[in-house]
């Protein structure tokens, strides 16, 4: 791999202005494939979810999946698109071993949904992303190249193909060119894909797992010199499969293109591959033009003409969209915008919401998920939602703290026990003996014992150096293994030593 030069990001942005474009593919979570009845379960043994249609055997004919069409229309409506009154599928002709028909059934000049927008917020500023089209197509199979060092076909000994994915409904969401993002281009790209992912989730149309490829993003970037109004040649970085990589791909492509342009070179219109390890892109193939695909209307399928009343019904039945929900929850919970954004970035909002629903005050729910639990998730490299603890269990811990049965330190120990698989919060309290010492007699005995064992500190307190009481409180906490009420212990110490605060 030849390393290409890059211009430092700030310098690149001083000289050039980026224009973005994002094409996002979402695999729909339908039970069956787009044009046949095959199952779509992820991870099934290779070539077990196939039939004559998705293997393109002679004589087989496609039938469109109604649920997939409905899901696509709902996505379009959520993205403020117009819905076509009449449209057709189209054949996109190209050869690829993982596409047995030698063409993909897609949509070309008659997309199901078009002319929409998605409003996002970046750095507290609203940004409107115009949506050009949302169309429906079928996914390809999956090739695996074996024997090479890179996993690519070059240098491989042989290749194998799994057609389980061939024909899974795929929705492609294409933005119009996005100028004017300036230095925030990488963040805008990431925020857009993040919001798109949440909309898909709230619609329940896809599991949108980027790591499993059910949401993948092609990132288009071009640069134009500052002051120019003529857009530059763009490159398309294919199949970027994490939110962080979307951001990095935009950044590295800006830095690379700036270096090429500043060196008097020209940008080649091509597809590029993003490399997670280096955070940079390398050249793929030169980009086809639409005419290369010889599109024509798919003759084996009838046109789609969604009934207007049905579309109106689908629109009326859309769920509350994530950005609207975030605004509502922020008001209900009385949290700052910054807190809310941090929770959003940490994927914690649904968890906090469920914890509040289980009876916890919002501030406490936020505190635990964004504090102790976020730290644990970070340590173990897992997502918050993957931690082996439930919102109801967090709610129970906050209840125990509120009732005075636990203090914060003990509560953290309880969480640790639950995460370690020791059972529900109450069981952990029982097993580890974590209840606060509420018994006044017991606390008094511990205080006496600590005063007797720390004569020097006790004398200092008696002589008026109240600050020395801190050491005695520490002794009480230690002797009670953290289970004493520190404030009450301090009161008792001062009382017994005959001084007041
Ligand atoms: Zn099939």
Distance CA 300, CA 341 (A): 48
Pair of tokens at residue 109: 């000049």
Is the pLDDT assigned to residue 106 strictly greater than 90? yes
Distance 67 CA to ligand 1 centre (A): 16
Whole-Å CA distances, 187 to 103, 120, 121, 255, 280: 36, 11, 10, 15, 17
Residue 345, pLDDT score = 81
Angle at 268 between CA 262 and CA 273, to 5 degrees: 105
**1, pLDDT greater than 50:** no
Q: How far is the CA of 53 from the centre of ligand 1 (A)?
A: 5
Task: Please state which of the ranges 37-46, 119-128, 335-344 shows the lowest mean pLDDT.
Answer: 335-344
- Tell me which residue of 345, 178, 183 sits closest to 251, measured CA to CA: 183
Kindly give the distance from the C-alpha atom of residue 193 to the centroid of ligand 1, in angstroms, as a whole number: 30
pTM of the model: 0.79
Kindly give the distance from the C-alpha atom of residue 39 to the centroid of ligand 1, in angstroms, as a whole number.
8
Q: What is the pLDDT of residues 378-430, one digit of tens each?
A: 898 888 988 999 999 999 999 999 988 888 888 999 999 999 999 999 999 98
Instruction: Walk me through the domains of the chain, giving residue ranges and CATH numbers.
Output: 9-313 (no CATH), 320-432 (no CATH), 440-496 (1.10.10)
CA 163 to ligand 1 center in whole angstroms: 9
Instruction: Kindly report the number of other CB atoms within 10 A of residue 199's CB atom.
Output: 23
38 Cα: distance to centroid of ligand 1 (angstroms): 4
Terminal CA-to-CA distance of the chain, rounded, Å?
A: 72
C-beta of residue 445 within 8 angstroms of C-beta of residue 466? no
Strands of 123-168, DSSP E: 125-138, 142-146, 158-162
């Amino acid at each position: 791999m030849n390393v290409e030069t890059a211009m430092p990001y700030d310098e690149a942005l001083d000289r050039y202005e980026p224009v973005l474009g994002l094409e996002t593919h979402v695999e729909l979570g339908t039970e069956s494939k787009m044009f046949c009845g095959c199952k779509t379960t992820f991870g099934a043994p290779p070539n077990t979810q196939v039939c004559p249609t998705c293997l393109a055997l002679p004589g087989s004919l496609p039938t469109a999946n109604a649920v997939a069409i409905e899901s696509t229309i709902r996505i379009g409506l959520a993205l403020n698109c117009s819905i076509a009154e009449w449209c057709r599928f189209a054949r996109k002709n190209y050869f690829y071993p993982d596409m047995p028909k030698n063409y993909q059934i897609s949509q070309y000049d008659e997309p199901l949904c078009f002319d929409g927008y998605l409003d996002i917020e970046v750095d507290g500023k609203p940004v409107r992303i115009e949506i050009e089209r949302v169309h429906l197509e079928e996914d390809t199979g999956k090739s695996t190249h074996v024997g090479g060092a890179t996993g690519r076909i070059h240098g491989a000994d042989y290749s194998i193909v799994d057609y389980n994915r061939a024909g899974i409904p795929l929705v492609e969401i294409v933005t119009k060119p996005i100028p004017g993002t300036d230095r925030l281009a990488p963040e805008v790209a990431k925020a857009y894909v993040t919001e798109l992912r949440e909309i898909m989730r709230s619609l329940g149309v896809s599991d949108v797992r980027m790591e499993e490829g059910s949401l993948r993003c092609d990132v288009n970037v071009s640069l134009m010199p500052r002051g120019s109004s003529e857009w530059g040649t763009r490159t398309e970085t294919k199949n970027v499969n994490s939110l962080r990589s979307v951001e990095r791909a935009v950044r590295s492509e800006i830095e690379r293109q700036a270096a090429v342009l500043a060196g008097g070179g020209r940008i080649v219109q091509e597809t590029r591959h993003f490399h997670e390890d280096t955070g940079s892109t390398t050249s793929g193939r030169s980009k086809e033009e639409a005419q290369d695909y010889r599109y024509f209307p798919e003759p084996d399928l009838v046109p789609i003409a969604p009934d207007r009343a049905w579309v109106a019904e689908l629109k009326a039945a859309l769920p509350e969209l994530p950005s609207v929900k975030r605004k509502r929850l922020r008001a209900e919970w009385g949290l700052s915008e910054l807190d809310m954004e941090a929770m959003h970035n940490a994927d914690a909002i649904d968890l906090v919401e469920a914890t509040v629903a289980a009876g916890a005050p919002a501030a406490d729910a936020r505190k635990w998920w964004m504090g102790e639990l976020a730290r644990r998730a970070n340590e173990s490299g897992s997502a918050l939602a993957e931690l082996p603890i439930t919102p109801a269990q967090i709610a129970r811990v906050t209840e125990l703290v509120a009732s005075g049965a636990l203090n914060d330190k003990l509560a953290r120990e309880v969480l640790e026990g639950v995460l370690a698989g020791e059972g529900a919060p109450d069981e952990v309290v029982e097993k580890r003996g974590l209840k606060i010492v509420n018994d006044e007699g017991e606390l008094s005995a511990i205080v006496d014992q600590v005063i007797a064992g720390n004569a020097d500190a006790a004398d200092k307190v008696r002589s008026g150096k109240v600050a020395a009481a801190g050491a005695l409180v520490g002794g009480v906490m230690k002797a009670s293994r953290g289970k004493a009420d520190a404030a009450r212990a301090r009161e008792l110490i001062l009382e017994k030593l005959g001084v007041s605060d």
